[in-house]
Amino acid sequence: MRIGELASRTGVSERSLRYYEERGLLASSRTPGGHRDFSPYAVDRVIRIQELYAAGLHSSAIGRILPCMRDDDGGPAANATPALVAELTTERDRIDRTVNDLLRSRDVLDQVISTAAAGSAPVPQGQERPRG
């Protein structure tokens, strides 16, 4: 498939797809006219790349991780080195801390929302609620 179709199917800009290819995260062949031609499996690869970026990983880490993940095309996954496992463990711990921080923030918001909802009465039109 051409780059425009891949961009459309994944919601990722053509510019980002070119960057992924430049960084070795995504591969394409070339048509006789020089256009990029991506495999149908590129859709899953791009989604996986996006998920890893969303997790806070940078492109060089993603480049080291992707070969260790089995692709939908059935290709073999390489074994992660001990150094990569240590790096991924650190990243996972960072993500866990972020998730826990977000959950605590959500709990605080829930408390404020429920307190406000329980103590609020409709304010007559044209009047402001007294500030406390």
Range of the domain at 60: 1-79
Mean pLDDT of 8-33: 94
- 3-state SS assignment for residue 82: helix
Q: Taking the model in full, what pTM does it have?
A: 0.70
| Distance, CA of 28 to CA of 42 (rounded, Å) | 9
Is 126 domain-assigned?
A: no
Provide the pLDDT for residue 123: 56
Beta bridge partners of 36: 30
Does residue 128 form part of some domain?
no
How many separate domains does the chain show? Answer: 2
pLDDT of 67 reads 85
Tell me the torsion sign for CA atoms 79, 84, 90, 96: negative
Please report the pLDDT score of residue 68 as a whole number: 84
Q: Could you tell me if 67 and 7 lie in one domain?
A: yes
pLDDT (average), residues 34-56: 93
Residue 16 belongs to a domain with what CATH number?
1.10.1660.10
Q: What values do phi and psi take at 29, rounded to 5?
A: -105, 180
129 in a domain, yes or no? no
**Same domain flag for 8 and 41:** yes
* Residues 75 and 98 reside in one and the same domain: no
Q: pLDDT by residue (tens digit) across 74-120? A: 555 678 888 988 988 998 999 999 999 999 999 999 999 999 988 76
Q: Taking phi first (over 0 means left), then psi (-120 to 50 degrees means alpha), and beta for anything else, what does residue 125 get?
A: beta
- 131 inside domain: no
